[in-house]
Structure 1
Amino acid sequence: MWFVAVNATLLIGIIWVGAVGLFAPVIGIGGAFLSLLFAKALAIRAHGIKLIEPMNPRSGAERELLDMITDLAGRAGLEHVPAVGVYASPDLNAFATGTNQKGSLVAFTDRLLEELPAEEIRAVAAHEIAHIANRDMLAMVLLQGAINSIIIAIVVPISFMRFFVDSSDKYGVMLDGLLWLLKAALALVLTFLGSLLVKAFSRRRELRADALAARLCGSGSMIAALKSIDRDTAIIPRAQLGYAAFKIAGGSSWGEWFSTHPSMARRIANLDSLPHGPVEG
């Protein structure tokens, strides 16, 4: 799927811009990969995450959390155990990030660890482990990079056209202005449509992560955790909003089409159709 998307981007670049179009995928996908490369470090800084040292946990609770993540990672088939961290925040939340499985991180809010029962914490952890096992961060980057590349490949030719417009008379000035407006309109519309596509993919990956979490710890525990999170009235702090798409709870008040997450009702209904106990093997 991603191979087709990248090659389609290359083809569009060549048709519209000639050899220069080859740089569109480099810029679009390269920029997206750079964001993924620094995602873990930036997330730690943005949230003030305190990492738990695997060989030197500060408490019994930290040791239990590490053991839980290690067990879930093994059950999910991960070759490397993710780093584990905790950050101060008023909301009940958690997220996973990282360039690959080896460099991944699972982080929890301190309030979630303090207030949710152990089986619900395990369900939340399983959901985040599922994102890592499914390579969701990489998939999101590839999709966003392909979209960026297509937008660049379509918009750049219009900028080139403006170089050939004679602006010495009023008709040239008008044509130049029209080309600028066309470029701006296309960029805005394509970016908006691209964001809807990314959000739709994000909603799908949330359902897939829920399903794998249900296999790891049972859909009953996952449903209970989602209900607890849904009852929470605290909102994600403004400084952390850029990471909302990667958290277990991060919906939009504008409706599901504009949200990175399905509604809690939809997620719970989807889980309710699955076996309520963990699937062995």
Structure 2
Amino acid sequence: MRRVGLFLLTNLAVILVLGTVLRLLGVDHYLNAQGGALNYTNLLIFAAVFGFGGAFISLAMSKWMAKRSTGAEVITQPRNATEQWLFSTVQRQAQMAGIKMPEVAIYHSPDPNAFATGMNKNAALVAVSTGLLQNMERDEVEAVLGHEIAHVANGDMVTLALVQGVVNTFVIFLARIIGHTVDRVVFKNEDGPGIAYWVTSIAAEIFLGVLASMVVAWVSRQREFRADAGGAQFAGRGKMIAALERLRSMQPPPLPGELAAFGIAGKKDGLMALFASHPPLEQRIAALRQ
């Protein structure tokens, strides 16, 4: 329930903020009152504000959301040998990657997983689950941390937000053009937007949104290969392969929501593989071995 509440609160805040921005820009109306003709400039600005605004507001809130949705506890002062090792390993790898020390956190979950998030690669968060620390060898955990540090150093969070913003913009823009065209050409409506406009726009937005999700997922899968290569660089190729082999044997479920793209593992089969944020572990292992 806490995750659902945070999700609804975040989306409400995004809508309110972006709606205010559109009013200030004077482009909140892209359909002319007389005849319902489209103002393409206003529509494109409207689509871009919502497309990029939603993606980057979510990114700006990602650390806050991640901590509260997972209950992650940031290590400010290591309390035991495990936390000291974890902190020191992330610090060493961050120095190798040429980025500032990210926040390091542990969250309680029996599933072995980890994630990185944050709007700025020099102000990121790297978190690991208790299940990861308990079920994997230190060499394997070191490789997982290297993978997450590589995500941060490669700027993957910002890259995916940019890609999401672009596809969101085109989805919103094209869906309303399709709705307007169907309303005017097919249903011969000249008196402003009718029910056909709204129904067709919503249907087109859903269809185009599905295609857009496939594009974003494909980009995410390519970034995973790069993060694996980074993990191999920071911890050693053998350790990275061993970590992925261990994850394959345990098959942990993906992280919830937007964190899934920056976890260490995730799996979807069949046609759903087109929407997977991670390539199959077999492919990732084969890529490292090559």
Which TM-score band applies after superposition, normalised by the shorter structure?
0.7 to 0.9
Check if 1:148 corresponds to 2:168.
Answer: yes
TM-score by length of 1: 0.81
Q: Determine if contact 2:117/2:124 at 8 Å carries over to the other structure.
A: yes
Aligned mates of 1:234, 1:263 — CA distance in 2: 13
From 84, 91, 94, give the equivalent of 2:104: 84
Q: How far apart in 1 are the matches of 2:289 and 2:65?
A: 36
Question: Cα offset for 1:150?
Answer: 0.9
Q: Which is further off, 181-190 or 128-137?
A: 181-190
Farther-moved stretch of structure 1 (131-140 vs 21-30): 21-30
1:245 aligns with 2:261: yes
- Residue 73 of structure 2, aligned match among 50, 64, 74: 50
Pairs aligned (count): 250
- TM-score, scaled relative to structure 2: 0.79
SS in 1 for 2:105: strand
Look up the match of 2:204: 186
Tell me whether 1:268 sits opposite 2:290 in the alignment.
no
Paired with 1:161 and 1:201, the residues of 2 have a C-alpha distance of 31
CA distance, structure 1, for counterparts of residue 264 and residue 252 of structure 2 = 14
Rounded to whole Å, the distance in 2 between the matches of 1:229 and 1:194 is: 29
Which protein has greater RCO, CA pairs closer than 8 Å, 6+ apart? 1
In structure 1, stretches of 5+ residues that fail to align are 1-12, 274-281
Rounded Cα–Cα distance in structure 2 between residues aligned with 1:243 and 1:90: 17
Q: Report the counterpart of residue 30 of structure 1 in structure 2.
A: 53
Task: Give, in whole Å, the separation in 2 of the partners of 1:51 and 1:102.
Answer: 16
Structure-1 separation of matches of 2:274 and 2:194: 36
Partner of 1:130: 150
Residue 3 of structure 2: aligned partner: none
Cα deviation for residue 112 of structure 1 reads 0.8
**Runs (5+) with no aligned partner, structure 2:** 1-29, 31-37
Partner of residue 18, structure 1: 40
Cα RMSD after superposing both structures: 2.6
Contact kept in structure 2, 1:91 and 1:236, CA below 8 Å: no
Identity of aligned residues (%): 38
SS of the aligned residue for 2:222 comes to helix
Q: Distance in 1 between matches of 2:46 and 2:159?
A: 21
Q: The residue matched to 1:84 in structure 2 has which SS?
A: strand
Give the Cα–Cα distance (whole angstroms) in 2 for the partners of residues 154 and 144 of structure 1.
Answer: 15
